[in-house]
Amino acid sequence: MAMAAAKDAKKRAAAAPRPRLVPSLGELQERFQAAVMAGDDAVLDLIPDNSRTTRTVLLGVYRHAYVSRLVDIVGNDHPILARYLGDEVFGAMARGYVKEHPSRNSNARWFSHGLPEFLSSSPVLGSRREVAEIARLERALNDAFDAADAAVLDLARLSAYPPERWGELCLVPHPSAARLDLETNAYAIWRALKEDGEPPAAAELADRERLIVWRNGTMPTVRPLGAEEAMMWDEAAKGVPFSALCELVAIFDAADTAALRAAGYLQTWIGAGMLSAAKLARRRRRRQI
């Protein structure tokens, strides 16, 4: 009997929070955030039970939603990585990311942006270098999807320049374009899974895989580049004029066909919407004394 009464009293005490000093709105929000993100229970003093369940259960709705919502975001942004790792490993990894990387942006679109770096330094997955590289590729594709809009350079606009001045033209990459160099076969793994195939075993590559990612129309696109084309793209992206690009290509391989190869790359880039403009290089003025 006494035991039952004590139990009742305990239950009543649990139902009614102990009176404490009322916190300011700022203090309450700090406490609530700590409760949701770090499991701190101090805020429970401010919350009553409802007639059917405890305040711990009710607060648990926020705690659970916080993690599951952000884990879902990581999964939506990295569907191929999720498939590669499998639900269990991916889920544990994503929960670790949520714990270590609180969102600092108003827009959840950017929440998973730090995932490749997180994976590179992960004690569990860091040694599997293809994992971070798959995440890098998916991040680049996500970024290409909603990168800034810009005009797309076409041959008509290019032909507005007289042929004798093409050598002075500097090519402007589309804002969605990004280059990636991968040291593992992450691209082959990504592509196999993308096509619902069996991925090859992870492997380090003897020579790096050079990729370019961009938005072709509205579709994020990825394409491997040969060493020469990648070199020319990288130099073009720095603002090196076309004549100098041709010279670099001539050094890279057979000089007699260099101009033809460079023109071929340019044509491919224009056809695929990888460039947004071509501008005449500024001529250096002689400094007046």
Partner 1 sequence: MSLKAHRRVNREPAEPLPEARPPYLGFGLGLRSKHYADILDGDPPVDWFEAISENYMIPGGQPLQILDRIRARYPIVMHGVSLSIASTAPFSKDYLKGLKELAHRVEPVFISDHLCWTGVHGVNLHDLLPIPYTREALDHVVARVHHVQDYLGRAIVLENVSTYVRFAHSDMPEWEFLSELTRRTGCWLLFDVNNVFVSAFNHDYDALEFIAGVPADRVVQFHLAGHEHNMTHIIDTHDALVCDEVWDLYRASLERFGPVSTIIERDDKIPPLAEMVAELDKARAVAAEVLGGRLAEAASH
**Nearest distance, CB of residue 221 and partner 1, angstroms:** 13
Taking the alpha carbons at both ends of the chain, their separation in whole angstroms is 105
DSSP E strands in the chain: the ranges are 169-173, 178-184, 204-216, 219-225, 275-280
Q: Binding string to partner 1 for residues 13 to 52, with x set by CB under 8 A, is what?
A: ----x----x-xxx-xxx-xx--xx--------xxx-xxx
132 sits in the region (left: phi over 0; alpha: psi -120 to 50; else beta) called alpha
**Nearest distance, CB of residue 134 and partner 1, angstroms:** 22
| Helices (runs of H) and strands (runs of E) counted in the chain | 11, 5
The residues with which 221 forms a beta bridge, in sequence order, are 214
Give 105 or 127: the residue with its C-beta nearer to partner 1.
105
**Nearest distance, CB of residue 201 and partner 1, angstroms:** 35
Q: Name the burial class of residue 24, with classes exposed (0-12), middle (13-18) and buried (19+) by CB atoms within 10 angstroms of its CB.
A: exposed
Q: What is the rounded CA–CA span in Å between residue 57 and residue 15?
A: 12
**Residues ≥6 apart with Cβ < 8 Å to 29:** none
Does 11 contact partner 1 by CB under 8 A? no
Instruction: Pick the stretch among 5-13, 53-61, 133-141, 201-209 that binds partner 1 (CB under 8 A).
Output: 53-61
**Binding-residue total with partner 1 (CB under 8 A):** 49
Q: How many CB atoms lie within 10 A of CB 196?
A: 7
Q: Binding string to partner 1 for residues 130 to 149, with x set by CB under 8 A, is what?
A: ---------------xxxxx
Does 266 contact partner 1 by CB under 8 A? no
**Nearest distance, CB of residue 22 and partner 1, angstroms:** 5
Are 202 and 189 spatial neighbours (Cβ–Cβ below 8 Å)? yes
**Nearest distance, CB of residue 150 and partner 1, angstroms:** 8
Does 104 contact partner 1 by CB under 8 A? yes
Q: What is the rounded CA–CA span in Å between residue 79 and residue 72?
A: 10
Q: Which of 190, 215, 261, 265 binds partner 1 (CB under 8 A)?
A: 215
Q: Which residues bind partner 1 (CB under 8 A)?
A: 17, 22, 24-26, 28-30, 32-33, 36-37, 46-48, 50-53, 55, 57-59, 61-62, 65-66, 69-70, 73, 102-109, 111, 145-150, 175-176, 215, 218
